[in-house]
């Protein structure tokens, strides 16, 4: 997906910058750069959950920072010898959240292992050891099969939607929250539900927004001199 946009000015400016970033895996830096609002929503919620559990003696979730996990609270290993998915969405993930998929193994990416993005009508070559970020909860995706003697695994990192509902409820389940909710709480929640899709859509960065960052403006000024 990224390659298609690589020649657009905002994107081609950021890519080398984020690859120079030394304290994060490039795919995390990419998420933070191109999906800042989205990334920060996950980061802040995870931080709130960790803080909450810091208060519970002996149950701290505050592990050592892992630069290959970063903000992602969940990870799935697809370890079948020829891992490939049929068309699906990961609808339990945070709807607007991006999912990081890393392909591993030994296969010819020109013959198989492509990522198919059905809603976009796009088929992307997906070589082993590369990572692609997609909003996997809303885009139907699958893989093409690899050759008979080849091997393919994948590692998927994402944020489960339930974590966000639970944190928003004040760290209780929907069932527990409903049991204690007042009529005003219920009314307020119905109103929030009606508008929630909009804030989820707004959390995607537009190319115009990328073009207006201070770094990009400074670069444009330098180009003009």
Ligand X SMILES: O=C(O)CCC(=O)C(=O)O
Among residues 28, 156, 200, 210, which is the contact residue for ligand X, using CB under 6 A? 156
Please say whether the beta carbons of 57 and 37 come within 8 A.
Answer: no
Q: Are the C-beta atoms of residues 81 and 148 closer than 8 Å to each other?
A: no
> In the stretch 88-107, what mask flags binding to ligand X with x, by CB under 6 A?
--x----------x-x----
Residue with tokens 């939607």, as numbered in its chain: 161
| Residue 141 is a binding residue for ligand X (CB under 6 A) | yes
Residues whose CB is less than 8 angstroms from the CB of residue 10 and which lie 6 or more positions away in sequence, other chains included: 207, 210, 211, 216
Site string for Fe ion, 66-105 (x = CB under 5 A): ------------------------x---------------
**Cβ 141 to ligand X shortest distance, Å:** 6
The interface partner of residue 93, options being ligand X, Fe ion, none and the CB cut-off 5 to 8 Å by kind, is none
**DSSP designation for 80:** S
Rg (CA), the chain: 20
What span, in angstroms and rounded, lies between the C-alpha atoms of 103 and 114? Answer: 10
Q: Pull the structure tokens for residue 11.
A: 């994107």
Looking at the Cβ atoms of 12 and 76, the one nearer to Fe ion is 76
The answer to whether 97 and 151 are in contact (CB under 8 A) is: no
**Considering CB under 6 A, how many residues would be counted as binding ligand X?**
13
CA distance linking residue 128 with residue 109, whole number of Å: 7
- Which phi and psi (to 5°) does residue 157 adopt? -120, 140
- Find the part of the chain contacting ligand X (CB under 6 A) among 8-16, 20-28, 50-58, 136-144: 136-144
85 lines the binding site for ligand X (CB under 6 A): yes
Q: How far is CA 69 from the centre of its chain?
A: 11
Quick one: what does residue 114 bind among ligand X, Fe ion, none, with the CB cut-off 5 to 8 Å set by partner type? none
Q: Using CB under 5 A, count the residues that bind Fe ion.
A: 2
Q: Does 133 bind ligand X (CB under 6 A)?
A: no
Strand, helix or coil for residue 128: coil
Of 10, 28, 115, 210, which one interacts with ligand X (CB under 6 A)?
Answer: 115
Minimum CB distance to ligand X, residue 81 (Å): 13
Q: How far apart are CA 102 and CA 117, in angstroms?
A: 16
The nearest distance, CB 169 to ligand X, in angstroms, is 26
Which residues sit at the interface with ligand X, rule CB under 6 A? 76, 78, 83, 85, 90, 101, 103, 115, 136, 141, 143, 154, 156
Which residues sit at the interface with Fe ion, rule CB under 5 A? 90, 136
């Amino acid at each position: 997906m990224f390659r298609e946009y690589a020649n657009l000015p905002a994107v081609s400016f950021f890519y080398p910058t984020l690859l120079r970033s030394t304290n994060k895996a490039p795919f995390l830096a990419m998420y933070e750069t191109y999906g800042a609002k989205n990334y920060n929503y996950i980061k802040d919620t995870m931080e709130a959950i960790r803080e909450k559990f810091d208060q519970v003696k002996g149950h701290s979730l505050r592990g050592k920072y892992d630069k290959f996990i970063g903000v992602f609270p969940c990870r799935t290993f697809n370890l079948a010898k020829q891992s490939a998915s049929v068309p699906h969405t990961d609808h339990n993930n945070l709807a607007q959240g991006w999912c990081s998929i890393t392909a591993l193994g030994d296969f010819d990416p020109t013959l198989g292992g492509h990522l198919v993005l059905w809603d976009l009508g796009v088929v992307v070559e997906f070589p082993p050891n590369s990572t692609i970020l997609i909003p996997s909860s809303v885009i139907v995706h699958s893989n093409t099969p690899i050759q008979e003697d080849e091997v393919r695994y994948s590692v998927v990192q994402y944020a489960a939607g339930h974590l966000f509902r639970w944190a928003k409820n004040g760290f209780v389940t929907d069932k527990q929250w409903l049991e204690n909710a007042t009529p005003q709480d219920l009314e307020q929640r119905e109103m929030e539900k009606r508008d929630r899709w909009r804030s989820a859509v707004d959390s995607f960065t537009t190319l115009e927004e990328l073009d207006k960052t201070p770094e990009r403006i400074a670069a444009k000024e330098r180009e003009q001199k």
